Amino acid sequence: MPEALNVALNRTDFEARLRAIGAARYHDKHPFHGMLHGGGCSMTQVRAWVINRFYYQSRIPLKDAAFMSRCEDISIRRAWRKRIEDHDGGREEGGGIRRWLKLAEAVGLDPDYVESTRGVLPGTRFACDAYVRFVRDMPMLDAVAASLTELFAPTIHKNRIAGLLEHYAFANEDALSYFRKRLDEAPVDVAFGLNYVLDHADTLEKQDAAAAALTFKTDVLWAQLDALQSAYVSPALLPPGGWDGKEGVIGALDQPALREPVRGAAE
Ligand SMILES: O=C(O)c1cc(C(=O)O)c2c(n1)C(=O)C(=O)c1cc(C(=O)O)[nH]c1-2
């Protein structure tokens, strides 16, 4: 191979390489998201998504704590610990996990049931646990690069807020506060993470490793939606122990807020 092909990309071109991974592989392109955002999901499918996605939410602070536990650089720890606070909140209030459980209640689920993580699909569990393990075991550069899917999250969060508000009776600002808050939180995290990766991936080998880590993370996200699609979209193939469409559902299902969505074209 000619020498020039073995040289690391400059920052601009390497960032473009990372962004191209999102453009090709991010989970906004998964058909389940098209259904969810376009009003094509039944309320049972929305509940299944809320139950399974809670598992992802619950693993995020564990992976950030795993990251912190290996990080010798105090200035990085000072910046990174915000991520745990964003999700776990204070002792009494706040935090993404509490906001996610508000969404669970809004779709008619018992938050204790959701928090129990019973009924989470095996594919969801394997994918999310793999992310925690990856961040615990891989080089720091790879661990940070894996979080860079958040570069692409604000667009999907905005589309989700708009799509859910348009199509689903349960959706209001309170129920969707998780996503609204992430619009402020994620850009801070991703600016730090992107700078770290651009600074540290200073050889072609490291750039390849960072790109592979980001690709791995897109697989973590995609696999969670594959699990939902397989279990809850016809022809449904519910694995043993997966949520049965009934357990944990509380309150009167004929209440107006829990009406089935107004179906529209998938966006
Ligand atoms: O709704 C989404 O599509 C989505 C995607 C991602 C992501 O790209 O990993 C995150 C989030 N949301 C999110 O809310 C969040 O807090 C988050 C943290 C992380 C991470 O890897 O540290 N990703 C994401």
pLDDT tens digits, 242-254: 889 999 999 777 8
By three-state DSSP, how is residue 249 classified? Answer: strand
Ligand 1 binding pocket includes 182 (Cβ within 6 Å): yes
Domain limits, the chain: 9-234
For residue 7, the CA-to-ligand 1 centroid distance in Å is: 32
Structure letter (DSSP) for residue 233: S
Atom of ligand 1 nearest to the CA of 33: 3
Q: What is the pLDDT of residue 267?
A: 46
**The whole model's pTM is what?**
0.92
- CA distances, 199 to each of 67, 69, 207, 253 (Å): 18, 22, 11, 52
Ligand 1 binding pocket includes 153 (Cβ within 6 Å): yes
| Bridge partner list, 109 | 249
Structure letter (DSSP) for residue 5: G
- Give me the mean pLDDT over the 228-250 stretch: 89
**Considering only CA atoms, which residue is closest to atom 22 of ligand 1?**
147
CA–CA separation, 157 vs 115, rounded Å? 22
pLDDT single digits (tens) 117-130: 999 999 999 999 99
pLDDT single digits (tens) 132-182: 999 999 999 999 999 999 999 999 999 999 999 999 999 999 999 999 999
For the domain 9-234, what is the CATH superfamily, name and number? Heme oxygenase-like (1.20.910.10)
162 in Cβ contact with 35 (< 8 Å): no
Q: Could you tell me the two tokens for 205?
A: 């080998």
More confident residue, 10 or 264: 10
Q: What is the pLDDT of residue 225?
A: 97
Atom of ligand 1 nearest to the CA of 156: 3
Any idea which residue has 């994918």 for tokens?
A: 127
Q: What percent of the chain clears pLDDT 90, i.e. is strictly above it?
A: 88
Q: Could you tell me the two tokens for 85?
A: 């606070």
